[in-house]
Amino acid sequence: MDIFDTIREDHEKILGLLDSLEGIDPADVARQEQMRDHLIALLEAHTHAEEALFYPLLANDDGGRPLMVMATEQHHVVSLLVEELRHLPASDEHFAAKCAVLAENLEDHIEEEEEDIFPIAEELIDEERAKALGQQFQQHVNDALAPQRKAA
């Protein structure tokens, strides 16, 4: 898998987790919080991998750089929401609303990444590099998730 497929697959997982989180019975606080923790771990691993391995591809491209800067700001807003959500009890009446706002932000961000940034990045790297970066990306995410898996 190249880096584009790898990122797309992660995006599907992230959106799927958000969907699952929304579908949990609000009375089941423990499951909501467990799903929230799982979502945050993947989200952080994914955004860090993007910033380390994917966004730098666009840094020296006239068309790509403004999109990279915008995407980095979107990550920043997501990280602020994540910090608020991290320790928010699922029993709090703001929990579901904050999750919904996070989902809206992520849906827009993911759409911009896949529709606006991917085509530019695809022009900047060849297939071989895209595949190598895909492996590195996966490794980066796996390494970031490893301590969490060990603790679970």
Least distance CB 106 / Fe ion (angstroms): 8
Size of interface with Fe ion, in residues (CB under 5 A): 1
Q: Which residue lies nearer to Fe ion by CB, 90 or 141? A: 141
Q: Site mask, Fe ion, residues 39-78, x = CB under 5 A? A: -----------x----------------------------
- 3-state secondary structure (DSSP) of residue 55: helix
DSSP letter (8 states) at residue 93 = T
CA angle 12, 60, 115 (to 5 degrees): 30
Q: Positive or negative CA dihedral for 71, 74, 80, 81?
A: negative
Least distance CB 54 / Fe ion (angstroms): 8
Least distance CB 71 / Fe ion (angstroms): 6
Q: Which residue lies nearer to Fe ion by CB, 24 or 85? A: 85
Residue 24 vs residues 34, 123, 131, 145, 152: alpha-carbon distances, Å: 11, 41, 37, 23, 21
Q: Which residue lies nearer to Fe ion by CB, 11 or 36? A: 11
- 3-state secondary structure (DSSP) of residue 2: coil
Write out the binding residues for Fe ion, residues 3-22 only, by CB under 5 A: none
Q: Which residues bind Fe ion (CB under 5 A)?
A: 50
